[in-house]
Structure formats: structure tokens, C-alpha cells
A and B are shown apart, each in its own frame.
Chain A
Amino acid sequence: DGGITQSPKYLFRKEGQNVTLSCEQNLNHDAMYWYRQDPGQGLRLIYYSQIVNDFQKGDIAEGYSVSREKKESFPLTVTSAQKNPTAFYLCASRAAGGSYEQYFGPGTRLTVT
């Protein structure tokens, strides 16, 4: 099956702990994205990567970090510096070149108490 996988589906952490969300794709897509979704709001871009070993900040990057060591993987770390980490996190990918379509994974719901 081709697609984007995110794990785990639900994640619970205590305040002050860092947590890493997984995103893997086997679509051979070059670009990958992380978005955050809060109730009643649209998706907001956290980080994106267009190529291995390179990534760029999105609109709300503070308190987050990413890495892109492999084409198929783009993990997101939510650090203790993120003031409101509880949210639904979505990973997406896009093929290279002139392709515009972004496809999303199933998401990870993170709850920090």
C-alpha cells in the first residue's frame, strides 16, 4: 500500500517533556510538510522540507524541530518550549517538479497535561 503513515494515532505526555511524532511515506515524494490543527481552525504550517537534509520554518515553527535524514521520513519533535502543544498534527507530502497536490497522513493527536 502506498501512502503516508503517522504514528502513534494518540500520544499523551506530561508538560515539560519533549515528544517526537513519526511521519513516513512510500510515495517517493520529495517534499514533506507538518501542519497543526486546532479545533475550529484551519491547518497551520509548522515546517516543511523539499529535499533530504534541508528544511524550512513555516508560520508557527517556535517550539518545534524537525529532521530530514531520509527521503521517506520527516519526524517532528514537539519541545517543552512549545506553549500549547495539545493539538492534532498532520503530515503531508508532495511529488517533485511541477506537482501541486499535497496528500495527508491520518494524523497524530497529541495531548499534553
Chain B
Amino acid sequence: QQQVKQSPQSLIVQKGGISIINCAYENTAFDYFPWYQQFPGKGPALLIAIRPDVSEKKEGRFTISFNKSAKQFSLHIMDSQPGDSATYFCAASFTGGGNKLTFGTGTQLKVEL
């Protein structure tokens, strides 16, 4: 059972544009929603995360929007740069039971000049 669905699978954005990646979850017990950035052959790096008590969190060019009633959250990358080209994963976990992360299937982002 895939508990976190991520879309799109791939995304091409022009330099300076906005990249938007969406995730939807099923388990209402989830209370932590991180986004990871992964470059080829490297481990994922924690980018930004949100708890369900807020609807938006911004760190630099990266923003998470969270809609608890719709059970959806999204990553917005403003002023996208070629260096942002990577695979992005959303994930979710809940307090207790080891805080295990359930991941989406990833989005390959390519930012073109």
C-alpha cells in the first residue's frame, strides 16, 4: 500500500521559473512531512520540513504548502536554478513507532537555461 503519492514523476522548468511538486498522503496519523533532495549517487539531503500545525513554511527559495483537510502538501522552488536539478522526495512519518519515514516515489527535476 503506497501511503504517500508523489507527482509528477519528472519535471522540466526554465531557469528562473517556479518548480512545483505535489504529494498526497493517506494516513491521518502522519505528523511530520519532510522533503529531501538527492543528487545522482549521493544520499538524500534534508531540504525542508513541516508539521501539520502550520499551512506554510518558507526557507530561502523553498516553500512547503500544507493542506491538512485535503491531506496534501507541496514543494515550491522559486527562481529555479540549474543547480536545483536533482531528484526530490517527499516523505511522512508519525510520532511513535520509531518515526519511520514513508517516502514518495520521487520527482526528477531538470532546470534548463
Name A residues whose Cβ lies closer than 8 Å to a Cβ of B: 4, 6, 31, 33, 35, 40-45, 48, 50, 56, 58, 90, 92, 94, 100-107, 109
Total B residues in contact with A, Cβ cutoff 8 Å: 25
* Of B43, B99, B103, B104, the contact of A94 (CB 8 Å cutoff): B99
Which residues in B have their C-beta under 8 angstroms from that of A102?
Answer: 34, 46, 99, 101
Q: How far is it, in angstroms, between the C-alpha of A58 and the C-alpha of B93 when the chains are bound?
A: 13
The answer to whether B106 touches A40 (Cβ under 8 A) is: yes
Cβ-defined contact, B34 with A101, below 8 A = yes
Contact A40–B100 (Cβ < 8 Å): no
- Complex Cα distance A104/B45, Å? 7
Q: How far is the CA of A92 from the CA of B51 in the complex (A)?
A: 20
Within 8 A of A (CB), among B68-105: 89, 91, 93, 98-105
What's the dominant secondary structure at chain A's contact region? strand
Given A101-B34, A103-B46, A107-B42, residue A42 in contact with residue B100 (CB < 8 A): no
Question: Which A residues are CB-close (under 8 A) to B93?
Answer: 100
Q: Given the complex of chains A and B, what is the CA–CA distance between A56 and B98 in angstroms?
A: 9
Report A-chain residues with C-beta under 8 Å of the C-beta of B46: 101-104
Closest Cβ of chain B to A87, distance in Å, is: 13
**Residue B62 CB within 8 A of the other chain:** no
Indicate whether B16 reaches chain A with its CB closer than 8 angstroms: no
Complex alpha-carbon distance, A101 and B36, angstroms: 11
